[in-house]
Amino acid sequence: MIILGLSGALNHDPSAALLIDGEVVAAAEEERFVRVKHARNQMPLESARYCLSQANIRARDVDVVCFPYAPISLFSAARWHYAKRYWYAPDRALDALANGNRRFRRNRKRVIDAGEQIGIDWQKTEFVPVEHHLAHASSAYHLSGFKEKTAIMGVDGKGEYATTFFGYGENGRIHRIKEFFDPDSLSGMYGAMTEYLGFDMLDGEYKVMGMAPYGDPTRYDLSRLIQPRKKGFAVNTRYISTVGLRRYKENGVGYYFSDKLIEWLGPRRKGDVADEPYIDYAASVQKLFEVWCLDLMNIYLGDILKETGKLAFAGGGALNVKLNQRIVAHEHVKELFVQPASGDSGTSLGAATYVATERGDKLNKMTHVYLGPGYTNERCLETLQASRTPLVFEKLDDPPRRTAELLAEGHPVAWFQGRMEFGPRALGARSILGAPSVKGIAERINEQIKFRERWRPFCPSVIDRSARELIQTDHPAPFMTITFDVAESWKSRIPEVVHADGTARVQIVTREANERYYTLLEEMEKLTGNGVVLNTSLNRRGEPMVCSPEDALDMFFGSDLQYLILEDYLVTKPDA
């Protein structure tokens, strides 16, 4: 069976994913092709075309197109909860009751139109909507490889109405235990505070997470933002997750927090400096998020975790790596699987996996994310020869060895290899690399190459045989979704990838997942004694990750990078 998942339901992070007889053949975000970060208000046309091309099939051959957004019955508690909680905005409350699936109908039409544009024959191809949080849940559970009864947690801003999902998977089936509904959203609270702290919602949450270790979470008590309820919570909409006239407005822009938040905490943060009191606010909101997620996990999933210890996690909140570190440390959690594309871009994959299992397909464990386009040496050479900007290039006999030499000499290197990653993390296909033992390399990459805030941390990719010594645990970490405490003996060896709190968001690299990247780490180990590289995504601030050779050259010439490894070619600037 050929199943094409298309996301874009909430007008951000559209993507496409293709499954053939249960195998994930291709998946990619639209932003990588159209070169607009998050590709807001666009449908995944180019990513869908890529998926079909990668599989060498025609659009009319697709059996099912699925979509991670579904109608919600009026008899569901979701729409009534929404209307009750938004009583102060009666137009929205009444709309939820009288016309509560308007957004689904509008987005369904957009998917039908997009399908026609890529060549789907709707007379032959079935359209299947999947509830947003079921798509998130499936993306984690069905690709986790767990055979035991598995606890499932979904923490997201908002789907149709649901914001937070607790359930379990057993024998391939997903069962709901509890859902919370808009506006009661832990990720929504975090997103509103992200806006207050000067970043964009749905983009800057990881910046808040990176800022938090510089602050003191005990200096300011933000607990009033979330009010306890019996076996649950309610977000305090007098401060955050506000709509309508309650929203704070600045220069004509409305935010998801109120004037009362400004009266309480002071003016909204501006600029790139991580200063007080905002670093303390970041630390406090991070702690608040962690405490509530863990408390609810214990309430609704505690018995399952005691039974098997397996947890599958997805939704935008699952990209909070500090929370994930605390989950892994939980006494009853034996193994945590975080879907590497946990945000809404991963719901195309989740919808497709949900439908695939419902139709009887068997899915394998997700062991890598190299599901995007790859480019041959011949294509790279054509791009280099066509460049109108002067450059120097040569074909290398041993790209990993030469790259390791450049890194050991203290140079940042752009690394473009194989198929592009699916999800927000660069995992050795579209990366900027550095030697984590070279003093100042992180600040140099931030200032001169990435053009981003100086305090932003970097992550280590580590060879598998050194991982246990570095992070002091055998827990799997292939996707940079969990932070770990770095062993004291390693902190002085790789200081440029150890964050202010002594942790690192590690990617453990195996030969099976990425042989060329693994070979590079072996060469680094020979030269420096550490099979570790500093790894960050190959992009500039505000831009999507590089996809094609042309994108790589644009990034190369638009920054202070001096070295680019483009498949087998070493590219340098004339004055390098």
Would you list the domain boundaries of the chain?
Answer: 2-72+93-143+339-358, 186-337, 377-572
Does 10 have pLDDT greater than 70?
no
**DSSP state for residue 392 in the 8-state scheme:** E
Q: Which is nearest to 299 in space by CA: 359, 238, 351, 228?
A: 228
Look at residue 354 in the predicted model and tell me its pLDDT: 98
| Rounded Cα gap, residues 332 and 303, in angstroms | 9
| Rounded Cα gap, residues 536 and 313, in angstroms | 23
Kindly report the average pLDDT of the chain as a whole number.
96
**Predicted model pTM:** 0.97
| Rounded Cα gap, residues 324 and 476, in angstroms | 12
| Rounded Cα gap, residues 314 and 10, in angstroms | 17
**In sequence order, what are the beta bridge partners of 29?**
15
Least confident of 10-19, 186-195, 349-358: 10-19
Look at residue 225 in the predicted model and tell me its pLDDT: 98
Q: What digits encode the pLDDT tens for the residues 444-463?
A: 998 888 888 877 889 999 99
At residue 335, φ and ψ (nearest 5 deg) are -155, 135
With vertex at residue 185, the alpha carbon angle to CA 457 and CA 356, rounded to the nearest 5 degrees, is 85
Question: Options 3.40.250.10, 3.30.420.40, 3.30.70.260, 3.50.50.60; which CATH number does 2-72+93-143+339-358 get?
Answer: 3.30.420.40
Domain 377-572 in CATH 3.90.870.20? The answer is yes
Do the Cβ atoms of 403 and 520 come closer than 8 Å? yes
Do the Cβ atoms of 556 and 48 come closer than 8 Å? no
Domains 2-72+93-143+339-358 and 186-337 share a fold: yes
Mean pLDDT, residues 157-184: 97
Q: What digits encode the pLDDT tens for the residues 461-506?
A: 999 999 999 999 999 999 999 999 999 999 999 999 999 999 999 9
Q: Provide Rg for the chain, Cα atoms.
A: 23
Look at residue 450 in the predicted model and tell me its pLDDT: 86
Does 221 have pLDDT greater than 90?
yes
Mean pLDDT, residues 178-197: 97
DSSP 349-362: HHHHHHHHHHTT--
3-class SS at 464?
helix
For 186-337, which CATH class? alpha beta
List alpha helices for 86-161, DSSP H: 90-98, 102-118, 132-141
Q: What digits encode the pLDDT tens for the residues 243-271?
A: 999 999 999 999 999 999 999 999 999 98
